[in-house]
Amino acid sequence: MTDVRRWTVPGRVNLIGEHLDYNGGPVLPMAIDRSMTIKARARDDGVVNLWTDREGTSRATFPTTVQPGDVDAWAAYAAGTVWSLAQAGHSFTGVDLVVKSGLPSGAGLSSSAALTCGIAAAIDELFGLGLGRTDLALVAQHAESDFVGAPVGLMDQLAVLYGTAGHAVLMDTAASPPTTRTVPITWDDDGLVLLVINTRAHHSLADGEYAARRDECERATTELGITWLAEAGLDAMVKLDDETLKARARHVLTETARVRGAVNAMSRRAWPQLGTIFTASHASLRDDFQVSCPELDVAVDAAVEAGALGARMTGGGFGGSAIALVPLDLVATVREKVEVRYAAHQWPAPEVFVVHAADGAHLESDEAPPAPRP
C-alpha cells in the first residue's frame, strides 16, 4: 500500500458502572494496553476491501453503498461503520482496510467497539470529514446497534476514543451528548495491578439476553415515569410490582452509588474499599441483573480467595472477562487458583494477564495529521 495510515485502537475494561450507560448512570471504564491495528488507504472506485486476521473473515469486499443484511459475520461491523457514516451524511470514495487484532474475540474487552471506532476514525482522517471523538463514537454505536443488531450503549465507544494513559474515564451518560473527565489511576504506585481473567466463555451482545435487559430497564423507567432508570429513588422498590423489574432497578440504583464510591476511593487511594465495591458489583450483576455465568462466578470467587482485594465481571456479561485488583506479589497465586478451579470443572484454561490504562485511538505516524478533535 502507498499513503497508508496506521491506527492503534485499544480495547477497554469497565472498572465499575455495568449496564448504566443506557440507563443514564455514570460509568468508569479505561482503555487498556491491548489493542488492534488498522491500516487504511483511500480508494476512488466506491469499493471497501477488508482484510483481517479473524478466523472465518479473512477478506470481505463491499460497496460504500452497503446496506443492512448485505454483509454478515465479523465483517458486518466494518460494513456497518461505512453505512453509519453514510447515514450521518458523510460520503467517501472507498478504502482498503487491514485489521490485525490483539484483542480476543468474545472476551468482553470491546473488540467490536475498537473495530468500528478505528474504522470510523481512519475514514474520517483519510477523507477530512471533520468528525470529533464523540461524533465518531455515535457513528460506531449506530453501526453496532442498527446494522449488526446489538443494541449497545455508548460507553465502549467513548472509552476507546477518549482513553488516556494512567487514567480511567468517568462518563455522565445522562448528558446529551455524554460528558467525560479523567480520573487518575494510582494503584500501581501502591503495589497493585489490575488483572483481567478471560474466561473463554464466549460473550456476544448481539443475542437476545442483552436486548431483554434493556427492554426490562425501559419498562421499569416507563412505569416509574422518569427519563432514566438511574434517576429512580429508593421508593422504586415499592412502586414497581414486577419482581424482575424491581431487581433490575435495584442493580441500577446500587451500581450508580458504587460508581460514586469507587471514584471517591480512588481519589483517597483506599484500595481495600475499591476492592469491596468491585465484589459487591459482581454480586449485584449476578443476582439482581442476572448477566453473569458460572465461569465468571468461579473466576471472581477464586481471585478473592487467592488474595485479590476485589473482583467482578466486566462488560455486558453472559461470558467474557472478569477483573481483579491484586497485589503484584500475588498475581501468580491468583492465576494458579483460577486455573485450578477451571481444571476442576473441566473448562478450557482461562487467559490471565495484567492491563494498564492506555491512550485511546490514535495515529501511529509522526507525519500524519492529529487524532480526532474532542
Residue located via cell numbers 463491499? 62
- SS3 label, residue 10: strand
Whether residue 187 contacts residue 325, with contact meaning beta carbons closer than 8 Å, is answered with yes
Whether residue 50 contacts residue 78, with contact meaning beta carbons closer than 8 Å, is answered with yes
Active site residue 188: no
Helix (H) and strand (E) counts for the chain? 10, 12
Whether residue 41 contacts residue 279, with contact meaning beta carbons closer than 8 Å, is answered with no
Give how far the C-alpha of residue 236 lies from the chain's centroid of Cα atoms, to the nearest Å: 28
- The catalytic residue among 21, 124, 135, 156 is 156
Whether residue 41 contacts residue 2, with contact meaning beta carbons closer than 8 Å, is answered with yes
In DSSP notation, 243-306 reads HHHHHHHHHHHHHHHHHHHHHHHHHHT-HHHHHHHHHHHHHHHHHTS----HHHHHHHHHHHHT
Whether residue 285 contacts residue 317, with contact meaning beta carbons closer than 8 Å, is answered with yes
Whether residue 163 contacts residue 12, with contact meaning beta carbons closer than 8 Å, is answered with yes
Residues noted as catalytic: 156
